[in-house]
Every structure is written in structure tokens, then in C-alpha cells.
């Protein structure tokens, strides 16, 4: 058994339970072996209505969203100069990379000269993000890695083969709110020995960024049939 085959087997189990899955996902603070997602159907439908089909694969998009008033709010649009001050992004990067892309893909609307609104009442799109770090032997190293995924995930887990579960310091995991999953590879049976509390990620922008890696054409088609 390799770590890859272990993760593949675990992924299939979670997929059968209805989770959206993505392997080897990195949005900073390491690369998670497996990330699980639960989508908000109502917000997914709203994104479709807005025709916002392109994924936003840059954390800076969500950084900008923080400061843009929504088009449905009775507020004044924000100027590019104010956005530069608040986001601390460069003039050229903000205007020609971020805002240009957001405007083209229908995520923002420009009113007048360099005045902007956002059109994204669907954020956050996911109900829950779970990040898993899998280890066949070195559980402590896996724990440290899983702990870092709190930057973007609502829950994090260490996943190990069931035959080494007795080696894990469970008090350490509970203290740091990291869950524990074991997998009996031969029986193809998963057990959750520690369930962590759901907590807001340390970085909301990274959370939203992580969701975008799931926003693929095949996934959008699949989700649309279930809305």
C-alpha cells in the first residue's frame, strides 16, 4: 500500500457519502492530501443566475470583494483609489489583472469611471470545507500538517491506517481540535475516532479560494442537475 492508494481509497468512500472531493489541494500552508466540500445549493443557483461560470483562482479576488459594496445594497460604489489603499495591491495589478478579470466574468460592475460594485451574494459558496492529511506511519508529522489547514478549512483531520491508531496521541489532537480518521484498507471501512468542532478558518479569503478549485465545467453541470 502506498500513500496515494490509501488516499484514493479514502476518497472513494467519501465520494459515496456525497462529498465533493479534490486531492492534492494547496492554497497556502501546505498541500492537503484530500479536501471535501459541501456546496450550498441556493448560493450555487444564484451564481448560475449571475452567469459567473469562470473560477476565481487567485486569493486577491476575494480580498477585493471584502471592500466592494454589493449591487443590491443602497451604497455608493467604491473607487479604484480607495481599493488600492484598502487592499494594498498595486494600481496596475488591481486594475488590469483583478478588476478587468472580475468585470469580464460578470463578478463586478463598473459604474462611471473606475467606480465598482460586486455581484456576488453567493459568497461563501460552500457550507463546509474539510481538509485531510493522510499518513501511513508518521502520524505526528501528519498532525502538524493537518493543523496548518485550519487556515482555510472548517474542520481538519489526520487519516491513518487502522492498525497504527493505537500509536496516536489523541489528547494532542483533541487539544488542537484536529480530528482522527482510521481506514481498514482490507475491509474498506472508515471510522471517525475524533470529530473536531467546526470553526471559522483563520483566513476567509483562502477558504473561498479553495472552493474555486472545485468549480469545474463537469462539476457545474452535475450541480445544476441537482438544484
| Whether residue 95 is found in the same domain as residue 132 | no
Q: Give percent of the chain above pLDDT 70.
A: 96
Together in a domain, 212 and 133: yes
Q: Please report the pLDDT score of residue 220 as a whole number.
A: 64
Same domain, 185 and 91: no
CA neighbours closer than 13 Å in the CB half-sphere of residue 104: 10
Q: What is the pLDDT of residues 154-210, one digit of tens each?
A: 999 999 999 999 999 999 999 999 999 999 999 999 999 999 999 999 999 999 999
Look at residue 221 in the predicted model and tell me its pLDDT. Answer: 65
- Torsions phi, psi of 141, nearest 5? -65, -40
User: pLDDT at residue 219 above 90?
Assistant: no
Could you give the 3-state DSSP secondary structure of residue 175?
A: helix
- Do 112 and 79 share a domain, yes or no? yes
Confidence of residue 138 (pLDDT cuts 50, 70, 90): very high
Domain end marker among 83, 105, 121: 121
81 in the same domain as 30: no
Q: Are 25 and 213 in contact (CB under 8 A)?
A: yes
Listed residue (176, 180, 174) closest to 193, CA to CA: 180
Q: How many domains does the chain have?
A: 2
And the C-alpha cell for 1? 500500500
User: How high is the pLDDT of residue 74?
Assistant: 84
pLDDT of amino acid 168 = 97
Is-contact 150 199, C-beta < 8 A?
A: yes
Q: Of 6, 4, 3, nearest to 186 (Cα)?
A: 6
Query: In angstroms, rounded to a whole number, what is the distance separating the alpha carbons of residues 217 and 219?
Result: 5
The residue written with cell numbers 448560475 in the block is 48
Domain boundary at 121, 142, 160, which? Answer: 121
Instruction: Tell whether 138 and 102 lie within a shared domain.
Output: no
Burial of 74 (0-12, 13-18, 19+ CB in 10 A): exposed
The model's pLDDT over 58-101, given as tens digits with 9 standing for 90+, comes to 999 999 999 999 999 889 999 999 999 999 999 999 999 999 99
Residue where a domain stops, chosen among 103, 121, 139: 121
Asked if residue 80 and residue 29 are part of one domain, the reply reads: no
Mean pLDDT of 108-116: 92
Domain residue limits at 89: 52-121
The CATH code of the domain that includes 73 is 1.10.10.10
Residues 134 and 45 in one domain: yes
Q: Are residue 84 and residue 160 in the same domain, yes or no?
A: no
What's the pLDDT tens digit per position in 2-37?
A: 999 999 999 999 999 999 999 999 998 899 999 999
210 shares its domain with 149: yes
Amino acid at each position: 500500500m502506498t500513500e496515494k492508494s490509501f488516499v484514493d481509497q479514502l476518497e472513494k468512500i467519501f465520494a459515496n457519502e456525497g462529498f465533493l472531493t479534490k486531492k492534492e489541494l494547496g492554497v497556502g500552508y501546505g498541500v492537503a492530501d484530500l479536501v471535501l466540500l459541501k456546496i450550498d445549493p441556493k448560493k450555487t443557483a444564484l451564481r448560475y443566475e449571475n452567469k459567473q461560470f469562470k473560477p476565481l483562482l487567485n486569493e486577491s479576488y476575494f480580498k477585493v470583494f471584502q471592500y466592494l459594496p454589493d449591487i443590491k445594497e443602497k451604497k455608493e460604489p467604491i473607487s479604484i483609489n480607495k481599493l488600492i489603499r484598502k487592499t494594498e495591491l498595486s494600481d496596475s495589478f488591481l486594475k488590469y489583472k483583478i478588476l478587468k478579470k472580475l468585470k469580464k466574468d460578470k463578478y463586478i460592475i463598473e459604474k462611471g469611471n473606475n467606480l465598482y460594485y460586486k455581484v456576488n451574494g453567493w459568497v461563501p459558496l460552500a457550507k463546509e470545507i474539510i481538509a485531510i492529511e493522510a499518513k501511513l506511519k508518521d502520524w505526528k508529522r501528519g498532525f502538524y500538517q493537518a493543523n496548518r489547514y485550519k487556515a482555510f478549512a472548517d474542520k481538519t483531520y489526520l487519516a491513518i491506517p487502522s492498525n497504527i491508531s493505537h500509536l496516536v496521541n489523541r489528547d494532542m489532537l483533541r487539544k488542537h481540535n484536529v480530528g482522527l480518521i482510521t481506514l481498514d484498507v482490507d475491509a474498506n471501512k472508515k471510522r471517525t475516532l475524533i470529530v473536531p468542532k467546526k470553526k471559522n478558518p483563520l483566513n476567509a479569503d483562502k477558504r473561498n479560494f479553495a472552493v474555486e478549485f472545485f468549480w469545474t465545467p463537469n462539476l457545474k453541470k452535475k450541480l445544476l442537475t441537482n438544484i
